[in-house]
A and B are shown apart, each in its own frame.
Chain A
Amino acid sequence: MNFSIITHNFYFLMQGLGITLKVAFISIMLSMLFGTILGVIRFSKIFILSRIVGLFIDITRSIPLILYIIFIHFSISPYLYGHADFLRYIGIDCLEMYSAIVAIVAFTSAYIAEIIRSGLQSIEKEQIMAAKALSLNSYQIIKYIVLPQAITRMKPALCAQIITLVKDTSLASAIGLIELTRATEIVYETSLHEFELLLFVALVYITLNFLIQRILHMQEKMLNT
């Protein structure tokens, strides 16, 4: 067992970790945004929109993410990426990163939309009726009754989805994005120490996700006091 290969390529592997974190962070922000929008549309009573969005969500939740990544990378990215120079300024500097982010955001938004929809639906109608009887207007009902309870119910599922998203960034290695998994592949392709490297990478992912769980937990405790 030779662990020196890890120290030799440590900088390269950490660069890969940086790309993973960047993709994960941007994807979390964007998919929370789009997921909320989609979830609210799905929950609303506008028949046509709700059905169309529902179809998109159901199909997206039935297919693997890797399929999304490959499809978007081969068919949509080439056309969109050429027209968007501003992306370089946010730090999306290669086609693979763009495809990965778009695919992960589209995929995760469907899951978050489902979480939000079920969270909103779980508020019993009686509470809303009682609030209306007490002559609270719509805005007050949402702000004081629906939102606090719904957010509390959605929190565990959202936290789990964030962890899943961080793990899903490893799939972007299939299209060549040099994130942590691909960086490890590159290092062990030219050496014979696959086991040590893979063990190291597994430990990095475990630590990363563990830290994220702790941070989300602490935030929850802070908001609850």
Chain B
Amino acid sequence: MYNLDFSILLTDYKIILDGIYTTIFVSIVASVLAFSLGTFFVYFRISPNLLVKKFTNFIVNCIRNVPLLIIIYLFYKGFPSLGIILPAITCGILALGIYTAAYISDALLSGINAVPQEHSQASNALGLTRLQSFLYVVYPQALRHCIYILGSTFMNLIKNSSLVSFIAVTDIFYVVYKGIADSYRIYEYFILAIVVYCSLTGFVLLMTNILQKIYKIPSAEARA
């Protein structure tokens, strides 16, 4: 019978901690990029200009229909043949950020649609430009509506960050794959990976729940 021997994890603990740190770093930086880019996309998707709206919709749909792995390879292997060589971690963060930005812009769009039209009309009447009314009135309210789905997108980002190991970024999945290839101790490394990913996503879930309680939307009072 297979003997579970966790000592192999103890001997490698430095590499494992390094991997976890890299995963967290890549996830955080990519999510900041994704969030900003997603906001940028969604601003154009609610534009009254039909051409701009359709064009941005088209781009977002294209990004969503391509596997993340192909986007990563485009940055890492495709761009060098055009002359642009970026370090591996940058490629990974850019690819991850752009891919998730498409999903975030979808989530924000649903949140914005939940904000009543009267708000943007009222801010227009008060003389705010479209950008100002978006940034100061509509957007903050939209965020409240889509806290849960943004949290779940962030969890997906953490799971997708495992793909950067394909281009030799030493995140936790890379450490696990290398450990399995070198020592054939499959179960120990698999349990390690499960523990790490479950705790990361569980932490995000916890934060999402807390944020949702703090920014709870008061249930619709009786519309007078």
The residues of A with any CB-CB pair to B shorter than 8 Å are: 59, 62-67, 70-71, 74-75, 163, 167-168, 170-171, 173-174, 181, 185, 188, 192-195, 198-199, 201-202, 205-206, 208-210
User: Would B69 and A173 count as touching, CB distance under 8 A?
Assistant: yes
Contact of A66 among B77, B163, B201 (CB under 8 A): B163
Contact of A70 among B66, B68, B77, B180 (CB under 8 A): B180
Which residues of chain B come closer than 8 Å to A195, judged between CB atoms? Answer: 74, 78-79, 81-82
Q: 10 nearest interchain CB pairs? A: A209-B65, A170-B67, A64-B159, A195-B78, A167-B67, A64-B162, A62-B201, A198-B78, A194-B77, A63-B197
Contact of B173 among A66, A194, A201 (CB under 8 A): A66
User: Would A205 and B177 count as touching, CB distance under 8 A?
Assistant: no
* Interface size range of chain B in the complex: 35 or more
10 example contacts (A-B, Cβ-Cβ < 8 A) are as follows: A63-B159, A67-B176, A70-B176, A173-B69, A194-B78, A199-B78, A202-B74, A206-B62, A209-B65, A210-B65
Interface string of B108-129 (1 = CB under 8 A from A): 0000000000000000000000
Task: Report how far A29 CA is from B74 CA in the complex, Å.
Answer: 31
Majority SS at the chain B contact face:
helix
Which residues of chain B come closer than 8 Å to A66, judged between CB atoms? Answer: 162-163, 173
User: Would B162 and A71 count as touching, CB distance under 8 A?
Assistant: no
Task: Report how far A192 CA is from B81 CA in the complex, Å.
Answer: 7
Give the nearest-CB partner of A67 in chain B: B193
User: Would B66 and A174 count as touching, CB distance under 8 A?
Assistant: no
Contacts A70-B180, A188-B77, A193-B81; is A64 near B67 (CB within 8 Å)? no
A64-B173, A168-B67, A202-B71 are known; give 11 further A-B pairs, CB within 8 A. Answer: A62-B155, A62-B159, A62-B202, A66-B162, A75-B186, A167-B66, A174-B166, A185-B73, A194-B78, A199-B74, A205-B70
User: Would A67 and B78 count as touching, CB distance under 8 A?
Assistant: no
Contacts A67-B162, A71-B190; is A59 near B198 (CB within 8 Å)? yes
Q: How far, in Å, is A181 (CB) from chain B's closest CB?
A: 6
Q: Among A59, A62, A168, A170, find the residue whose CB has the most chain B CB atoms closer than 10 A.
A: A62
User: Would A67 and B173 count as touching, CB distance under 8 A?
Assistant: yes
Task: Report how far A180 CA is from B69 CA in the complex, Å.
Answer: 12
Task: Report how far A111 CA is from B95 CA in the complex, Å.
Answer: 24
Q: Is B194 an interface residue (CB 8 A)?
A: yes
Q: Is B208 an interface residue (CB 8 A)?
A: no
Contact of B198 among A62, A163, A171, A201 (CB under 8 A): A62
Contacts A67-B173, A193-B81; is A181 near B160 (CB within 8 Å)? no
Give the nearest-CB partner of A74 in chain B: B186
Q: How far, in Å, is A56 (CB) from chain B's closest CB?
A: 12
Which residues of chain B come closer than 8 Å to A67, judged between CB atoms? Answer: 162, 173, 176, 190, 193-194, 197
User: Would A194 and B81 count as touching, CB distance under 8 A?
Assistant: yes
Q: How far, in Å, is A64 (CB) from chain B's closest CB?
A: 4
User: Would B198 and A63 count as touching, CB distance under 8 A?
Assistant: yes
Task: Report how far A66 CA is from B68 CA in the complex, Å.
Answer: 12
Q: How far, in Å, is B195 (CB) from chain A's closest CB?
A: 10
